[in-house]
Amino acid sequence: NIFMIEKKKTELYQELGLQARDLRFQHLMSIATRNNRIIMRMEFLKAVITPEFLLILDYRNLNLEHWLFNELVSQLAGEGQLVTYSLPFEFRAIEAILQYRISKLQGRLNTLQPQILETLEALVDPKLLSVDRSKLHILLQNGKSLSELETDLKVFKETILEILDEEELIEELCLSKWTDPRVFEESTSGIDHAEEMELLLENYYRQAEDLANEARELRVLIDDSESIIFINLDSHRNVMMRLNLQLTMGTFSLSLFGLIGVAFGMNLESSLEEDPRIFWLVTGIMFLGSGLIWRRLLSFLGRHLEPPLPPHVPAVLKKSQPAAGRVEIKNNLKAETFGLSRSTLTNQ
């Protein structure tokens, strides 16, 4: 049965036997017991579990109507896939809330993963000379959301791990132990309820660990893609710098032999300007000299920018090393055959 109630907080705390501080914090995840009550806080979701009922606080502000009326009812009734055999009510309530939390985290990861992969595929392109700032902005937002998801998964695992490390806390979660001790005894399948609670928490701890590994892989992929983007930008930057250097060398070569034209352009008379062939001769010398100087500078630039070749290993050394190994093995065999020790063989 599911129904809605509206009460003042003070009246509710008195009926449950709790204090106001027990349900005050909303942005905190914890699982605790107090006065035979289980208090579960999954960030905004706050719940109180007793052996008879499950109380969800402020569900309207969290838009939990679909989950409450369509999924939670069947899970608590034992009709869902979460319940394998008959267990006390608190087991089903804890499992339902943990499953809801894991499904929300899984949904956030499923939403982020295709967006991040699509953005990285658009950014990691060696043909691009520049990076789209809108894509970087989207990647930044997705990276921030991924960090928040990693933090939530870490808090989820730490909360469950704190309970798994303490056997007393696990037994306190079995509320039926205090109301009806016979229910807490070994079930018909031979599994103690305390062990069943431990297996239940370990199951969701492993699911959170799997989600954390997937999120960690996305984080590594983002870091590697950023390195690739920086490498591509550096490569294009180096090409532009080399082109700029080549043009600078060409300008220098042309300016160097352009001094001849400057000398002939002065307002001074000489006998050379009377010869009609001297113009073509001086122009040819200027262009030919500039071309030769530019060519020499480019070859000098190429020799210093290209990576050096690995040193060549002579073939004699390659053959001599296996031969030495074979001789050493033969000597060892001879020493073992004649019953000589290594020290005697070395002295000889």
Q: Where are the domains of the chain?
A: 9-237
Q: Please state, rounded to an integer, the average pLDDT across all residues of the chain.
A: 75
d(CA 279, CA 271): 13
Return d(Cα 267, Cα 265) in angstroms, integer. 7
The answer to whether 51 and 176 are in contact (CB under 8 A) is: yes
Q: What is the CATH number of domain 9-237?
A: 1.20.58.340
Side chain identity at residue 25, one-letter code: F
Tell me what pLDDT residue 79 has: 66
- Identify the bridge partners of residue 40 per DSSP, sorted by sequence position: 31, 47
Least confident range from 109-113, 116-120, 268-272, 325-329: namely: 325-329
Look-up of token digits 């262009």? 287
From first CA to last CA, the distance across the chain in angstroms is 96
> CA 119 to CA 112: how far, in whole Å?
11
Identify the burial level of 142 via C-beta atoms within 10 angstroms of its C-beta, where 0-12 means exposed, 13-18 middle and 19 or more buried: buried
62 or 135, greater pLDDT: 135
- Say yes or no to pLDDT of 317 above 70: no
Predicted TM-score of the model (pTM): 0.65
Name the H helices within 165-192.
167-173, 176-179, 181-184
Rounded to whole angstroms, how far apart are CA atoms 215 and 221? 10
Q: Is 207 exposed, middle or buried (0-12, 13-18, 19+ CB in 10 A)?
A: buried
Cα angle 32, 58, 29 (rounded to 5 degrees) comes to 30
> What pLDDT digit, counting tens, does each position of 268-280 carry?
666 666 777 777 7
Q: What is the Cα 88 distance to its own chain's centre?
A: 40
Query: What is the residue whose two structure tokens read 């060409």?
Result: 250
Tokens of residue 97, six digits: 């809330």
Instruction: Report how far residue 79's alpha carbon sits from residue 71's, in angstroms, rounded to the nearest whole number.
Output: 10
| pLDDT tens figures, 176-226 | 765 665 654 544 445 577 888 888 899 999 999 999 999 999 999 888 877
pLDDT over threshold 80, residue 167? yes
Q: What distance in Å separates the CA atoms of residue 286 and residue 256, rounded to the nearest whole number? A: 9
Q: Is the pLDDT of residue 120 over 80?
A: yes
* pLDDT of 313 strictly over 80: no
CA distances from 334 to 266, 330, 338, 342 (A): 94, 6, 6, 11
Secondary structure of residue 142 in the 3-state scheme: helix
CA R_g for the chain: 40
In 27-132, which ranges are continuous DSSP H helix? 65-66, 73-76, 89-123
Whether the predicted pLDDT of 142 surpasses 50: yes
Edge-first strand order for the sheet with 38-42 is 30-33, 38-42, 45-49, 54-57
Give me the mean pLDDT over the 73-94 stretch: 73
